[in-house]
Structure 1
Amino acid sequence: MNTRPVDILGHLFTPEAIRAHFIEDEEESKVFDNVGRHSSLKGYTVPEFKAYADEIGLGRMHVAAFQGWSYRQQRRYLSVTPEEVWEVSKQLPGRVYGLFGVNPHDALKGVRHLEKSVKEYGFVGIHVHPHGFDLGPEHAFYFPYYAKCVELGIPAVFSMGHTLSFMPSENGRPMKLDRIALYFPELTIVCTHTGWPWVEEAIALASKHPNVYLGTSAYAPKYWKPEMVHFCNSWGQDKMLWGSDFPLVKHAESLAQIEGLDLRPAAKEKLLYKNAEKIFRYDR
């Protein structure tokens, strides 16, 4: 069993992907400028990423075949195909795994592509970014994907909470996952990005539903709300998953900051890898 950190949500890290999606895309470039991260953007070839992961002690990383929609410009943005992720992940077996990005407008064509991605490419879940589509995750267009996840035995990972991108944040309210968890008790749901600024909503959902987990991606640990740190260190330790939303949060800085949170050893192990190893299937 892997005993090194598992990053449950990141982006395709190749030089071409980083340049196209974060440096040259006008909308995302402004987002990274706003948070002072544009100058640190850097892509990695496959050999470079392997060396990078070895150096920082990273175990596994989930890379989203991201499907986003620009709310302002009404166009695709950050569009990464499952095949692009598969091309990288097959060169890094046991280290990089894909998440199928859901475009709710692809309907059953997308559901078929999801099934292929799991069965042929070894993908371990879906990723839903509801903000740009302006369709909350409880919208009917997503439900065929959730049903297929149950059939395939894979989790659904949601980018929730406020979005740094220029899109309506309301679609990321964690409470929008409540009805999904009620309708699909067999579906493992991961509410990422800490749910901020609705962190207590996210904690409430993870406490209420056995099938709901809370992920930390996109927020550096030094900014985690005290309520979430307490949840992670006590009664919610079995429901927490670590993530980066890389390249937004750098792995080394996140891991170093976690060391400063004074987490109990068992809680830290569960956060960093044990809970992920429990809910994601890496043996396909």
Structure 2
Amino acid sequence: MSRSHGIPVIDAWVQPWLPSTVAKMPERNFTLADRMAHGARLRTGLPLEALIDEMDANGIVKAICSAGPLIPNEDVVDAVRRYPDRLIGVASVNPWSVDGVMPAVHELRRLVSDFGFKGLKLEPFILDKVPTEPQWYPLYAACADLDITLQVQVGGTGPSTYTSETGRPGHIDRIAIDFPELRIVAGHIGWPWTEEMIAVAAKHPNVWIDTSAHLPKYYPPHFTHFLRTYGRRKCIWASDWPILTFEAALDGLAELELAPEVAQLFLSDNAARAFALLP
């Protein structure tokens, strides 16, 4: 059986990593990349065609394609315009910019209404702001009102220049309590607080966990148990391309011995539900 169990896969976490954008990034953003297997790709950037070609080669039919503090929304707008059947846009806005919170809310609404974006992504460690800071809350309210998904990095941070405090799963618990109608996808498994992240996802109907930036052979045993059993509808496969290649992020799935219905949920159906991709 193929690495993807023969299932057309939805990847919940990719980002355009264009050479033109990478050329403007500060050097400190590549200190971790230099220690990674695919670090050279991160330093040079990749054309959008490389993303689609690698999706094709690995059975990835659709990908949630996100902006971020380092990747402008307009790169994602261009990506979803060029490949509307393959890429689903997710926005990133900064409520701490000089213009304040409301311009960030207006920009989010523009991207949803004009380009069909399906979510808002937060990587709070880059701004050194925990996800429960009040300034984020108008954005969460806008997500709930627009019926789009909040995607947020949870867990420890790789770069040594950023604190991991922003990634504690307890912040997700608080947000889910305050916004019970808001769909939340917590990325990066929540490691090293994976058990806490599992508890939060099991507690709240609208919280999911994605596996971005983690190789299947290194999934924590308690996460694999959650995936196979009572969390089968709460776990979403993701790569974090180009941080990981699709091939690397799929390699080892067969060794998890997932039941066919669990693999279908993990590789496709849960992402479709979490990001409201179903008709």
State the alpha-carbon separation in 2 of the partners of residues 210 and 163 from structure 1: 26
Deviation at 1:216, TM superposition (A): 0.6
Deviation per residue, 1:227-257 (Å, 9 max, x gap): 0011001110000111111111110121122
State the alpha-carbon separation in 2 of the partners of residues 220 and 275 from structure 1: 19
- In the alignment, is residue 114 of structure 1 matched against residue 111 of structure 2? no
Whichever residue aligns with residue 50 of structure 1, its letter is: I
Deviation at 1:20, TM superposition (A): 4.3
- In the alignment, is residue 261 of structure 1 matched against residue 256 of structure 2? yes
Whichever residue aligns with residue 76 of structure 2, its letter is: V
Q: Which residue among 102, 120, 130 is the counterpart of 1:126?
A: 120
| Correspondence for 2:83 | 92
Whichever residue aligns with residue 65 of structure 1, its letter is: A
What is the TM-score when the length of structure 2 is the normalising length?
A: 0.90
Whichever residue aligns with residue 261 of structure 1, its letter is: L
| Correspondence for 1:212 | 207
Partner secondary structure for residue 213 of structure 1 = strand
Deviation at 1:45, TM superposition (A): 2.8
Deviation per residue, 1:128-164 (Å, 9 max, x gap): 1111222110110100000000111011000110011
State the alpha-carbon separation in 2 of the partners of residues 187 and 231 from structure 1: 22
Gaps of 5+ in 2: 1-6
Deviation at 1:18, TM superposition (A): 4.4
Is 2:208–2:274's contact at 8 Å kept on the other side of the alignment?
Answer: no
Count of residues in correspondence between the two structures: 268
Deviation per residue, 1:180-207 (Å, 9 max, x gap): 1111000011111000000001000001
What's the C-alpha RMSD, in Å, of the aligned pairs?
1.8
State the alpha-carbon separation in 2 of the partners of residues 217 and 11 from structure 1: 11
| Correspondence for 2:57 | 55
Q: Taking every aligned residue pair, what percent have the same amino acid on both sides? A: 33
Partner secondary structure for residue 156 of structure 1 = strand
Deviates more, 1:54-63 or 1:269-278: 54-63
Q: Which residue among 8, 11, 14 is the counterpart of 1:7?
A: 11
Is 1:12–1:85's contact at 8 Å kept on the other side of the alignment?
Answer: yes
State the alpha-carbon separation in 2 of the partners of residues 243 and 98 from structure 1: 15
Deviation per residue, 1:69-123 (Å, 9 max, x gap): xxxxxxxxx1x22222111211101211211113131411000000010111111
Deviation at 1:40, TM superposition (A): 4.5
Deviation per residue, 1:54-83 (Å, 9 max, x gap): 12111111222102xxxxxxxxxx1x2222
State the alpha-carbon separation in 2 of the partners of residues 44 and 130 from structure 1: 25
Partner secondary structure for residue 83 of structure 1 = helix
Is 1:46–1:92's contact at 8 Å kept on the other side of the alignment?
Answer: no
Is 2:181–2:206's contact at 8 Å kept on the other side of the alignment?
Answer: yes
* Higher RCO (C-alpha under 8 Å, 6+ residues apart): 2
Deviation at 1:26, TM superposition (A): 1.3
Is 2:190–2:197's contact at 8 Å kept on the other side of the alignment?
Answer: yes
Deviates more, 1:89-98 or 1:27-36: 27-36
Gaps of 5+ in 1: 68-77
| Correspondence for 1:136 | 130
Partner secondary structure for residue 252 of structure 2 = helix
